[in-house]
Amino acid sequence: MQDLLPAATGLRARFDRIRQATVDFAAPLSPEDCQAQSMTEASPVKWHLAHTTWFFETFVLGRPKGPLAFLFNSYYESLGGHADRARRGLLTRPSLREVLEYRRRIDEEVVAKVLNAETSDETIGRVELGLQHEQQHQELILTDVKHLFSLNPLHPSYAPAPASDGAAVAARDGWVDHPGGLVEIGSGGPGFAFDNERPRHRRHLEPFRLARRPVSAGDFLEFVEDGGYRRPELWLSDGWEAVRREGWQAPLYWDREGGDWQLFTLSGRRTLHLREPVCHVSYYEADAFARWAGARLPGEDEWEVVAEGSPVEGNFAESRRFHPSAAVDPGTARPIQLFGDVWEWTRSPYAAYPGYRPPSGAVGEYNAKFMVNQIVLRGGSCATPQTHARATYRNFFPPYARWLFAGLRLAADRDEGR
Binding stretches for a second copy (CB under 8 A): 30-36, 38, 46, 70-71, 75, 77-78, 83, 87, 89-96, 148, 151-154, 156, 182, 201-206, 232-233, 235-240, 283-284, 287, 347-349, 351-352, 354-355, 365, 369-373, 375, 399, 413
- In the complex, the smallest distance separating the C-beta of residue 373 from a second copy, rounded to whole angstroms, is 5
- In the complex, the smallest distance separating the C-beta of residue 25 from a second copy, rounded to whole angstroms, is 16
Nearer to a second copy, 222 or 241 (CB): 241
Nearer to a second copy, 177 or 365 (CB): 365
Nearer to a second copy, 96 or 410 (CB): 96
Comparing CA positions, the residue from 254, 12, 224 lying closest to residue 110 is 12
Q: E strands along 195-257, which residues?
A: 201-205, 208-211, 254-257
Measured CA to CA, the distance from residue 332 to residue 314 in angstroms comes to 16
- In the complex, the smallest distance separating the C-beta of residue 308 from a second copy, rounded to whole angstroms, is 17
Angle between helices 121-150 and 45-55 (to 10 degrees): 170
Describe the strand order of the beta sheet including 395-397 as a list of residue ranges: 395-397, 375-378, 343-349, 406-407
- In the complex, the smallest distance separating the C-beta of residue 23 from a second copy, rounded to whole angstroms, is 17
Main-chain dihedrals φ then ψ at residue 171, nearest 5 degrees: -70, 140
DSSP code of 168?
P
Measured CA to CA, the distance from residue 114 to residue 215 in angstroms comes to 46
Q: Is 189 exposed, middle or buried (0-12, 13-18, 19+ CB in 10 A)?
A: exposed
- In the complex, the smallest distance separating the C-beta of residue 148 from a second copy, rounded to whole angstroms, is 6
Nearer to a second copy, 30 or 271 (CB): 30
- In the complex, the smallest distance separating the C-beta of residue 380 from a second copy, rounded to whole angstroms, is 24
Nearer to a second copy, 91 or 382 (CB): 91
DSSP letter for each residue of 121-156: HHHHHHHHHHHHHHHHHHHHHHHHHHHHHHTSTT--
- 202, 183 Cβ separation under 8 angstroms: yes
Q: Is 88 exposed, middle or buried (0-12, 13-18, 19+ CB in 10 A)?
A: buried
Nearer to a second copy, 167 or 372 (CB): 372
- 403, 273 Cβ separation under 8 angstroms: no
Measured CA to CA, the distance from residue 213 to residue 172 in angstroms comes to 8
The three-point CA angle 123-125-128 to 5° equals 115
CA dihedral 96, 101, 102, 106 (to 10 degrees): 150
**Number of Cβ within a 10 Å radius of residue 275:** 17
- 298, 208 Cβ separation under 8 angstroms: yes
Nearer to a second copy, 159 or 205 (CB): 205
- In the complex, the smallest distance separating the C-beta of residue 339 from a second copy, rounded to whole angstroms, is 26
Nearer to a second copy, 313 or 416 (CB): 416
- In the complex, the smallest distance separating the C-beta of residue 296 from a second copy, rounded to whole angstroms, is 8
- In the complex, the smallest distance separating the C-beta of residue 372 from a second copy, rounded to whole angstroms, is 5
Nearer to a second copy, 218 or 417 (CB): 417
Main-chain dihedrals φ then ψ at residue 50, nearest 5 degrees: -80, -45
- In the complex, the smallest distance separating the C-beta of residue 345 from a second copy, rounded to whole angstroms, is 12
Nearer to a second copy, 111 or 351 (CB): 351
| Widest Cα–Cα separation across the chain | 68
Nearer to a second copy, 389 or 401 (CB): 401
- In the complex, the smallest distance separating the C-beta of residue 115 from a second copy, rounded to whole angstroms, is 30
